[in-house]
Amino acid sequence: FFLKCAQPKRWKAYDGKITEMDTQYTLRARELFEIYRSISMNDIPKDERIDVLLTLRRTVKEHECKLTREIVELIDREVDLMSREVKECNLEGLRKRICTLFLQYIKTPKFNPEVARILKVPPDPLKLYKNVNFCHSCENYLPSTEFPVPANSRTIGRCRLCGKLDNEARRRETFLKYKLILENLRKSEADYQDNAKIVFLVQHQDLQYMIENIWGCQSALSAYGDLYDLVMVRWDKQHEWSPWNTILLTKDEADAHLRLCNLQEAYEPAFIHRIKHKHIRAKTYFAQIPAMASFLHRSDNQANAN
């Protein structure tokens, strides 16, 4: 512990040479280390022991507090007992007490600033209650500075490290391909000029669900799977686009599909049935969204009328 406090600062230069530098704090720690080692020695002459005690007395007298006053009082007691020729075996307990208190003095950052870098627990127990919070993710007690707290938050969440680990481990998803499909779809619907509304209510998250879970991320005709070459168009171009009136195709397939006049004659019944089944699944999903429910009911009423 003392060696860690007293060792100089070290860093490695670009040429591989190690540079060492002492600071006022490392010098202070080294001075205290030498004093502690001296007062811990046994079987030294009385004159040397008195010199060491007087050096310790001058060192701790630099700060006035209860701890230093107690150390000074014990030093004076030992010097007085030594002057009375008390046997060293009877002074053993007193000397251990002086070493213990001086060790406490050294571990106080106020008297030895370098020690603050090594101590893991704050010397003041009250700090544990004021500035320490519990992270429920890693189950560690950490300083409050380790917890990012948004302005609208009422509770302490995860610490910064847990948030960073979660961010690194989370699978990234790119929405660019879905945004491109949605942009192309909105442009094509605007070209119809028939006051289409549903396409502007659908977000790219909804489109992602449709493409991944209903259409399987591939063209309904050729099973082509590169989303950057796929587009969504109307299944029946006589009615506005909706999740239950759409088909996922490549660009060339979409152009050919929109030129068809009669879907029943162009496609086989099995293919039409498969597309209708996907439309039913889309209706089931979007029926849970209040903004889409009114359009869904209107579409059902129109289908019944037809």
- What pLDDT score does 126 carry? 57
Q: What's the predicted TM-score (pTM) here?
A: 0.44
Closest CA to 35 of 90, 112, 92: 112
- What pLDDT score does 270 carry? 92
- What pLDDT score does 253 carry? 92
- What pLDDT score does 128 carry? 53
CA distance 288 to 286: 5
- What pLDDT score does 301 carry? 53
* 10-residue averages of pLDDT along the chain (306 residues): 83 84 87 89 85 90 88 90 85 89 87 78 57 81 80 77 83 78 89 83 86 90 88 89 90 91 90 92 83 65 51
- Per the listing, tokens 């009877």 go with 90
CA distance 177 to 182: 9
- The domain locations on the chain are 1-111, 168-304
- What pLDDT score does 271 carry? 92
